[in-house]
Amino acid sequence: GMAGPGVTAWLCIWWGLLAREVWGMNYPPRYNLYTGSNLPFTQLQGTAQATNGARVASRHRNWCAYVVSRTVSCVVEDGVDTYVKPDYQPCVWGQLQCPRVVTYRSFVRPRYKVAYKMVSDLEWRCCPGYSGDDCAESGTLLT
C-alpha cells in the first residue's frame, strides 16, 4: 500500500522523539521551576510543608537550562516509482497445457528519502562557574 502524508508526518515525529530519548539519556534530571525540585508537583504536595523549601530549591541552584538545537533524520516520501509486472492467467483446472494469457499491470509505489530537520530541546548543564557531575564544584572566574 501507499503511505499517505499522515504516515510520513508520524515517521518524522517518531524519529524526533526517538532522537530526543537517545540524546537525552545522559542529561541531568529536569528541574521543575514551580516546585523547586525534580519531582512532579503531585508528588510534592504531601511533603512540601514538611521539608525546607529553600533547601530543596538550593540543591539544584547550580544547574542552568540551555536551549540546544540538533539535526535529526526522518524518512519522507519523495514522489512515486512506477513499475510493470507480468500477470499470468492460470490454466483452467485439469488442463495441463493451455495458451497462457499474459497481461501486464502497472503498479505505483512510494519513493522515500531521508530528510533532515532541526529540533530544539532544553538541556541542563552546570551554570557558568560550576563543574562536576553534580555541579557542586565552584571554580574561580578570572576577570
Does some domain include residue 65? yes
Is residue 83 within 8 A of residue 26, CB to CB? The reply is: no
In a domain, 101, yes or no: yes
How many of the other CB atoms lie within 10 Å of CB of 2? 9
* Cell 521543575, residue located: 32
**31 within a domain of the structure (yes/no):** no
Considering only CA atoms, which of 120, 84, 78 is closest in space to residue 103?
A: 84
The per-residue pLDDT for range 50-77, each reduced to its tens digit, is: 333 333 344 567 889 999 999 999 999 9
Task: Please check whether residue 76 is in contact with residue 115, taking contact to mean a CB–CB distance below 8 angstroms.
Answer: yes
pLDDT (tens digit per residue) in 90-137: 888 878 788 878 999 999 999 999 999 999 999 888 888 888 888 888
In a domain? residue 36: no
> Residue 83 sits in which domain range?
54-126
For the chain, what is the domain count? 1
Calculated CA dihedral for residues 126, 127, 132, 135, nearest 10 degrees: -90
